[in-house]
Amino acid sequence: MTFVILVSSSARAQNAVGIARSGSLHSKLDLPSTSLNFSKINLSGQTHTESRSFSVKNTGGLALSVTVAAPSGSPFFRVTAGQGEMLIQPQGKATVTVEFAPVIKGDFLASIAISSDATHGKSSAKVRLSGSAKNSLPTPSATPTATIKPTTTATATRTPTATLTPTRTATATATHTPTATATATRTPTVTATATRTATATATTTATPTSTATSSPIVPTDVLTYHNDLARTGQNLTEQILTTTNVKTSFGLLFSVSVDGLVDGQPLIKTQVPIPGMGIHNVLYVVTENDTVYAFDADNGSSLWHVSLLGTGEIASDARSCGQVVPEIGITSTPVIDPGAGANGTIFVVAMSKTKGTSNYFQRLHALDLTTGAEQSDSPKTVAATYPGTNPAFDPAQYKDRAGLLLLNGQIITTWASHCDLGTYNGWVIAYNENTLAQTATLDVTPNGSQGAIWQSGAAPAVDSSGDIYLLDGNGTFDATINGSGFPTSNDFGNGFLKISDSSGLQVTDFFEPTNTTIESGQDTDLGSGGAMVLPDMVDKNGVTRHLAVGAGKDTNIYLVDRDNMGKWNASTNTNAYQFLSDVLPNGEWSMPAYFNGTLYYGGVSAPLQAWTFSEAMLLTPPSSKSSETYAYPGSTPSISANGTSNAIVWAVENGSSGGVLHAYDATNLANELYNSGPSAFSDNKYMVPTIANGKVYVGTPNSVVVFGLTN
């Protein structure tokens, strides 16, 4: 099945994709399959999943933007690889994998119909999947697996605190209950008791009740920092929250208590089979006390939690640095691979020490999504060396600040120092996700010093070619340049770096501010912000541009061309694709968000601001800004939208009297839809809101607070 899209193009644009001009170029969307058929499945007592894949090809001469939608028709289908928007280059292809996972008993014949809306004159297309799951057995009626019995204590502030104590029943249910084999083999550090306790804060004096909430048509997972590998922060499948109901019927629903600071972004995985407890949408939370929690994302009940501390260990002390206090445990945002291991895996890096000693540890853990149990070969102690003049990796000297990256079957970690104390360098260390064997190391200042990777918690970004982008902190940059424009000693401190993992890890391109050495010496480097890969854009000459954006402490926004980042010019910053000077007057200690041609930045002591793209350039001044000013460290915004409609920008404000959740109309930040007020929750230094399935999740010093529709 081939769809032909004819697109007129200038000669310059045609040259940009490496095709000689011959009349009018076109893209061809080729879907070799029109359907996927699954084997007959008899589900009687065990979980059963089956996957099928198909290719999406572009056999034409122009790049084609293809969006693969989530399956419709049956809730038992999900896309495990290839969902969302992707750019397919001429003669390129992408693989889409669909999983069928029924959760009720029956004899199933399942299939997926594949179609496309590819039409003449468009350079983009949508691929639609429609699932059919015919069950020869009648569907049993649902029996609740938990009874919520809240007790409410009214307070003078009219904010009652309700303790929810679900009582598990042994009644058979309509949802398939997996066997508890994993439970029997779990280590003593995993806690999964029959009676769960969660704390929920109601916003009225009414007695809280357990009510069923409707599931969104497209269940949304948030498996990695800021939603996607480009780190855009956008959830484009939010079908519950709208600009209307957020303004009129939105508020705090409940909170879940944890044992330490929540610095990593909360993650969401829907439709997870928890042994003995049925199917749940799961909220995953990590703390600086080295604990990983799994909660029901819809009501806050506890599913399991596990400590990653070894025998005789405690979380690390703050290492004489005020960045992460009072303890350092799990600082970075984990990453989830639903296809790894028997039930999916969450990957976490934890720092600890032997109590009463100076023996410190950094370990990479791979935990079963359904139980929290360690997978085989887990954990892996982090150790590394790299050619150059610097010492080996010292676990006491570093923390894993930036979020984890899952790329090409590797877990890629990046490492920050404790303030600027001691001897340190810029480490990037990769591990095989299945065996946790170390696959590659990189020191971005191998013959110099410093150059650590903070990014205020932002994970490295990745483009469609698999190249990695990050902002490096203050450190050595060699002003002696070779014939290729690279520093002769391979020291890239304070750089906007492009890293390839195709053959080990290596810096393949970079951009350095013209005054990079001065910035590193004055601690006004780029490393306080995160890098983002932008969607392809066409400039005024018809050339498709591949861009990335970043900003740090030096008050500037830098757009770089990913095909030629600009390297270093001793006298000017015009080697960047676009250089916006002093537009973030107090610097950037956070991560931007992107939606529908607009870039959102929340700088320090500044309003949240929106810049609009036109012909692959940012327009100035900003198109809109919030009336609120955000104190240090500014704000990392996130986006929810249903396609391009009902777009909302969410941001968390740090305040002297508490944190505040704000919601703005994405088309005009002056239009605030909601704010929680300063007493809703305690503030935390780096808070990235997670939006999924009608709810907003925010980490605090000792909990995750959950907002949603109140009626």
Q: Are 474 and 525 in contact (CB under 8 A)?
A: yes
Reported confidence tier of residue 137, pLDDT bands at 50, 70, 90: low
Q: What is the CATH number of domain 234-709?
A: 2.140.10.10
In this prediction, residues 217-229 reach a mean pLDDT of 93
* Placement of tokens 């508890």 in the chain: 180
User: Which stretch of DSSP H or E encloses residue 77?
Assistant: strand 77-81
- Asked if 628 and 607 touch (Cβ cutoff 8 Å), the reply is yes
How large is the average pLDDT for residues 531-538? 98
Question: What is the tens place of the pLDDT at every residue in 375-410?
Answer: 999 999 999 999 999 999 999 999 999 999 999 999
Strand partners, 499: 468, 507
CATH of 2-135 given 2.30.42, 2.60.60, 2.60.40, 1.10.287 = 2.60.40
In this prediction, residue 76 carries a pLDDT of 77
Residue 588 has pLDDT above 80, yes or no: yes
Tokens of 346: 């969450």
3-state secondary structure of 145: coil
CB 601 within 8 A of CB 592: yes
Instruction: Taking residues 74-84, report their average pLDDT.
Output: 76
Write b or e for each residue in 436-467: b if 16 or more Cβ atoms lie within 10 A of its Cβ, otherwise e: bebbbbbbbbbbbbbbbbbbbbbbbbbbbeeb
DSSP code, position 653: E
pLDDT given for residue 58 in this prediction? 82
Whether the predicted pLDDT of 28 surpasses 80? no
CA separation for the pair 584, 33 (Å, rounded): 50
For residue 11, which amino acid is it?
A
Nearest to 11 by CA among 22, 26, 27: 22
Give Cβ neighbours of residue 312 (< 8 Å, ≥ 6 apart).
Answer: 354, 355
- Which of 22-36, 506-520, 571-585, 597-611 shows the lowest mean pLDDT across its residues? 22-36
Other CB atoms within 10 A of residue 274 CB: 23
Instruction: Give the separation between CA 352 and CA 366, rounded to whole angstroms.
Output: 16
Lowest mean pLDDT segment, chosen from 128-137, 358-367, 445-454 = 128-137
Q: Is the pLDDT of residue 246 over 80?
A: yes
Task: Give the integer Cα–Cα distance in Å for 2 and 118.
Answer: 9
Predicted pLDDT at 501: 93
Residue 429, pLDDT > 70, answer yes
Q: What is the mean pLDDT of residues 574-586?
A: 97
Helices and strands of the chain, counted as H and E runs: 4, 58
DSSP 3-state percent helix, strand, coil across the chain (nearest 5): 5, 45, 55
What pLDDT, on the 0 to 100 scale, is given for residue 141?
Answer: 37
Q: Are strands 567-568 and 506-512 parallel, antiparallel or unpaired?
A: parallel
- The pLDDT tens digits for 459-487 are 999 999 999 999 999 999 999 999 999 99
Whether pTM exceeds 0.95: no
Closest of 99, 104, 108, 95 to residue 77, by C-alpha = 99
What burial class does residue 167 get, using C-beta atoms within 10 Å of its C-beta: 0-12 exposed, 13-18 middle, 19+ buried? Answer: exposed
pLDDT higher than 50, residue 344: yes
Confidence at 110, pLDDT banded by 50, 70, 90: confident
Average pLDDT over residues 423-436: 97
Burial of 185 (0-12, 13-18, 19+ CB in 10 A): exposed
Answer whether residue 14 shows pLDDT above 50: no
Residue pLDDT, tens place only, 153-210: 333 333 333 333 333 333 333 333 333 333 333 333 444 433 333 333 333 323 333 3
For the chain, first and last CA: distance in Å? 46
633 prior amide bond cis, ω within 30: yes
- Give the pLDDT band of residue 120 (cuts 50, 70, 90): low
pLDDT for res 507? 98
- At residue 151, the pLDDT reads 34
| Strand 151-153 relative to strand 77-81, pairing | unpaired
Q: Maximum CA pair distance of the chain? A: 77
Find where tokens 């030096």 sit. 554
Cα gap 572→210, rounded to integer Å:
62
- Residues 19, 90 contacting (CB under 8 angstroms): yes
